[in-house]
A = this chain, B = another copy of it.
């Protein structure tokens, strides 16, 4: 199976694109709703969560892993590749960087995302490696995730807040804007309206699905391992009615969420105090 994990159910936007582009493969998704969100947490914590999430997917039959969460993609990809060297690991940052570089004309790119994603500076780093002349400006937008999860996709409050978040980026003269969080594609109409026609939006969900498709077409030995029959499996570590509603919003249709058979608990290490 193609394994996909995310801090919550936002990653279903990625699942939707994967299913659209690669309808023949079976998917397994893990959303860590018991500890969501990741974007406000420290890199060490995000890395430790990401490794556990990947382990869950591998134990349940995933042969490749897609990190749908931008915060985890930004800070945990290296750690995941070190921990699981045999497993092809895809993440949402690299294909978005490639796309953003392909579309920018003025070489000024904006990135919006969670605090963890933006303050990781990962986009700046990856873009500078390819084209050091490109300027990259980030702005953390912590209110957009709760606004989407409230279902306030078209409310005037949402418009005002999106506008406010985009002002500093527009003042820098960006012509390309990366939607650096799984939730933001749902706000695409508002973001495009407030950004203006001259700014091209990059949706990482589309880009990562393209990348996985290209990889499978050139790696038949991996492709052969993927199961092609049976239902997709969508697991979450915590289940609430609100999550089911939001999952529906993200997938565009009713989704059966399964409660993953795992528990999260504190392990208190012995210490001196």
Tell me, yes or no, whether A133 is within 8 Å of chain B by CB.
Answer: no
Complex Cα distance, B48 from A268, in Å, reads: 15
Pairwise interchain contact B237-A266, C-beta atoms closer than 8 A? yes
Report chain B residues within 8 Å CB of A40: 36, 149, 240, 242
Q: Are A239 and B55 in contact (CB under 8 A)?
A: no
Closest Cβ neighbor of A246 among chain B residues = B40
Tell me if A45 is interfacial: C-beta within 8 Å of chain B. yes
Nearest CB on B from A178, distance (A): 21
Q: Name A33's contact: one of B41, B48, B53, B152 (CB within 8 Å).
A: B41
Residue of B nearest to A268 (CB): B262
Segment from A93-101, A139-147, A218-226 that makes contact with B: A139-147
Query: Which residue of chain B has its CB nearest to the CB of A263?
Result: B267
Q: How large is the interface on A (under 10, 10 to 19, 20 to 34, 35 or more residues)?
A: 35 or more
Closest 4 CB pairs of A and B: A261-B271, A52-B266, A262-B268, A146-B146
Residues of A within 8 A of B (CB): 33-36, 40-42, 45, 48-49, 52-53, 55-56, 59-60, 115, 142-143, 145-147, 149-150, 152, 156-157, 160-161, 164, 237-240, 242, 260-269, 271, 273
20 A-B pairs with CB atoms under 8 Å apart are A41-B238, A41-B240, A42-B238, A45-B238, A45-B264, A48-B264, A49-B264, A53-B266, A59-B268, A115-B240, A142-B146, A142-B149, A142-B150, A143-B147, A143-B152, A145-B146, A157-B160, A160-B160, A261-B271, A262-B268
